[in-house]
Amino acid sequence: MGDRVSMTVWMVRFLFLIVFLTLLYFSQRFWIVRSRRRIARVQHPKLRFVLRWSWIGAVSLFLLLLAQRVAGIAGWPSPHQEYYAWSSILLALWLGGSIVSYLAVQVVRGAGKLWRIVAAALRRLGPRSANVPDLVDGSRRYFLRTATFAAGALPFAAAVYGFAAERFRYTVRRVEVPITGLPPALDGLRIAQLSDIHISDYMPRSEVARAVDLANQLDAELVAVTGDLLTGPGDPLEQCVKELGRLRAPLGVWGCNGNHEIYADAEDAAEELFRQHGMQMLRQQNTELTWRGMKFNLIGVDYQRQHSWSGERLEMLRGVEALIRRDMPNILLSHNPNAFDRARELGIELTLAGHTHGGQVKVEILDHRFTPARFITAYPAGLYQRSFGAGAGKTADASPRDPGGHASLYVNRGLGTIGIPVRLGVPPEITLLTLRRA
């Protein structure tokens, strides 16, 4: 069974890679050929000459930036890091906008071709269908050209707006979280949460510092940093942690590792840097904290993978049972929100997660909100509550938990970005969670 699962997972990954490379090739070919043909139609010789050489320069620059990016992924150093950062941003904006625009143009063209086929079929049915409108006359051809132009231009405009206007528009979200069985003394406990900082070409140190300043203004009793401090190898992890070291809270600053710490082989380094700057990274560990004379249990875990590298399905939160306290509330720091289902089965009252970025892009169509985060989790962003699982009961020597109670999950939308330095409808988030008695 495990071999079949492993083969299926690797086949899906391989298929995804093939689809992406195919889409990348056809989209870039489409825009390069289309722009060259448009330039060839220009009547003025001098203008055509200028545009042609500009086109050659733009294509050469694109190929240079693409080669530079591939070299960066391979780990080869860049002699001019500040220029490399901007080239990485420009390349990401172009690739993201061009691929989405290409798909949008093909959808519009496909709709036009489909309508022509349907209209022709209806006309052949008889005289009653003779007045079916066609897309051949001038007005409808103009409409189709306009729709195609809009479909191609809007993704580029949205990418520029999401990069320039929303990417660093930090939002402080204040959320009250009802906790089943919360002792009266802990009612009102405030937790500031930061997540998915992703210090990298897309997230400069100055913006991390600004987020830290905003978090300090919230006067929280505890600060939780739920993973993905960086994006990949070579990113300035030490700079990120040094800025986080300025966070202040009476109960301390606590964190957990994310999946990008795994990708960058930086889990141990993040833990050590946290320790050096007066913070603590919880790695399959727990600690008891006291506020107003009442204790609660804080648990932290490394990124919880759902499948091994070979594709075998893994049990989430394995070994966490021994860290749970049945005589006090439990708060879990887990970068992956998909650990919540197992956490509520174990009786953990509150889970704090990140990972999704809220999808980075959210659009509303026909009263339905769509975000890419839906492809990886049922918990894309915000507060969720679900009933405790069968294994959530208290031990015999402790007060029983309310059988009708709920476990809570809060998924932070993160500060940074990945893939494309763009946010649309999902502003970067700093959260202030206030615990309340349910």
Per-residue pLDDT reduced to its tens digit, 69-82: 776 655 555 554 55
**Pairwise CA distance, residues 167 & 348, whole Å:** 33
Cα(185)–Cα(294) distance, rounded to whole angstroms?
A: 6
Residue 236 per-residue DSSP state: -
| Alpha-carbon gap, residue 419 to 95, rounded angstroms | 10
Amino acid letter for position 236: P
Read off the pLDDT of residues 295-332 as tens digits, 9 standing for 90 and up. Answer: 999 999 999 988 766 667 788 999 999 999 999 999 99
Give the whole-angstrom CA distance, residue 232 versus residue 259: 10
In the predicted structure, residue 393 carries a pLDDT above the cut 60: no
Angle (deg, nearest 10), helices 138-161 and 81-123: 150
Provide the β-strand partners of residue 382. Answer: 411
Length of the chain: 438
For 247-286, the pLDDT digits (tens) are: 999 999 999 999 999 999 999 999 999 999 999 999 999 9
* C-alpha 38, offset from chain centre: 37
Choose the most confident range, by mean pLDDT, from 142-146, 152-156, 331-335, 417-421.
331-335
Q: What is the mean pLDDT of residues 390-397?
A: 41
Which residues partner with 300 through β-bridges?
285, 333
| DSSP, residue by residue, 142-209 | HHHHHHHHHHHHHHHHHHHHIIIIITT--EEEEEEEEETT--GGGTT-EEEEE----BBTTB-HHHHH
> Confidence class of residue 50 from pLDDT cuts 50, 70 and 90?
very high
Distance separating alpha carbons of residues 85 and 36, to the nearest angstrom: 29
Name the pLDDT band for 155 (thresholds 50, 70, 90). confident
92-110 mean pLDDT: 88
Model confidence pLDDT, tens digit, residues 171-229: 999 999 999 889 999 999 999 999 999 999 899 999 999 999 999 999 999 999 999 99
Q: Are 5 and 312 in contact (CB under 8 A)?
A: yes
Q: Are the CB atoms for 220 and 249 separated by under 8 Å?
A: yes
CB 204 within 8 A of CB 92: no
The predicted structure's pLDDT at residue 13: 67
| Own/partner long-range contacts of 72-76 (Cβ < 8 Å, ≥24 apart) | 72/234, 73/232, 75/233, 75/234
Q: Map out the domains of the chain with their CATH numbers.
A: 2-166 (no CATH), 171-437 (3.60.21.10)
Please tell me the distance from the alpha carbon of residue 283 to that of residue 304, in angstroms, as a whole number.
Answer: 11
Quick check: 390 pLDDT over 80?
no
Task: Reduce the DSSP state of residue 408 to 3 states and report it.
Answer: strand
pLDDT digits (tens, 9 = 90+) for 329-376: 999 999 999 999 999 999 999 999 999 999 998 875 545 566 777 778
Residue 45: what residue type? P
* Separation between Cα atoms, residue 179 and residue 191, nearest integer Å: 13
Task: Single out the residue of 84, 92, 27 nearest to residue 360, CA to CA.
Answer: 92
**β-strands 330-333, 350-353 pairing:** parallel
